[in-house]
Structure 1
Amino acid sequence: MHHLSPEMKSCIDECLHCYSVCLSTAMGHCLELGGKHTEKQHFTLMMACAEICRTSAHFMLIGSEHHKHTCGECAEICNECADDCERIGDMQECVEACRRCAESCREMAA
Structure 2
Amino acid sequence: MTQVALSQEMLGCIELCRRCHLVCLNMATGHCLEKGGRHVEPEHLKTMVVCAEICQTAANVMITGSGPHRQMCAVCADVCDACIASCRDLDEMEECVFACERCKNSCEAMTAV
Which TM-score tier does this pair reach, normalised by the shorter chain?
A: over 0.9
Q: Are 1:91 and 2:87 an aligned pair?
A: no
40, 43, 51: which is aligned to 2:42?
A: 40
Cα distance in 1 for partners of 2:82, 2:103 equals 12
Which of structures 1 and 2 has the bigger CA Rg?
A: 2
Task: Find the residue that maps to 1:88 and give its secondary structure.
Answer: coil
Which residue does the alignment assign to 2:110? 108
> Which residues of structure 2 form unaligned runs of 5+?
none
Q: Which amino acid counterpart does residue 74 of structure 1 have in structure 2?
A: C
Matches within 5 A, 1:50-89: 50-89=52-91
Question: Over aligned residues, Cα RMSD in angstroms?
Answer: 0.8
Q: How far has the Cα of 1:82 moved from its partner?
A: 1.1
The alignment-based identity, stated in percent, is 47
One-letter amino acid of the counterpart of residue 79, structure 1: D
Deviation at 1:22, TM superposition (A): 0.3
TM value normalised by structure 1: 0.97
Aligned AA (2:53) = E
Counterpart of 1:3, as a letter, is A
> Where does residue 8 of structure 2 map in the other structure?
6
Q: How many residues align?
A: 110
Residue 58 of structure 2: SS of its match in structure 1?
A: helix
Q: Which structure has the highest helix share of the two?
A: 1
- The match for 1:23 is 25
- Per the alignment, in what secondary structure is the counterpart of residue 4 of structure 2? coil
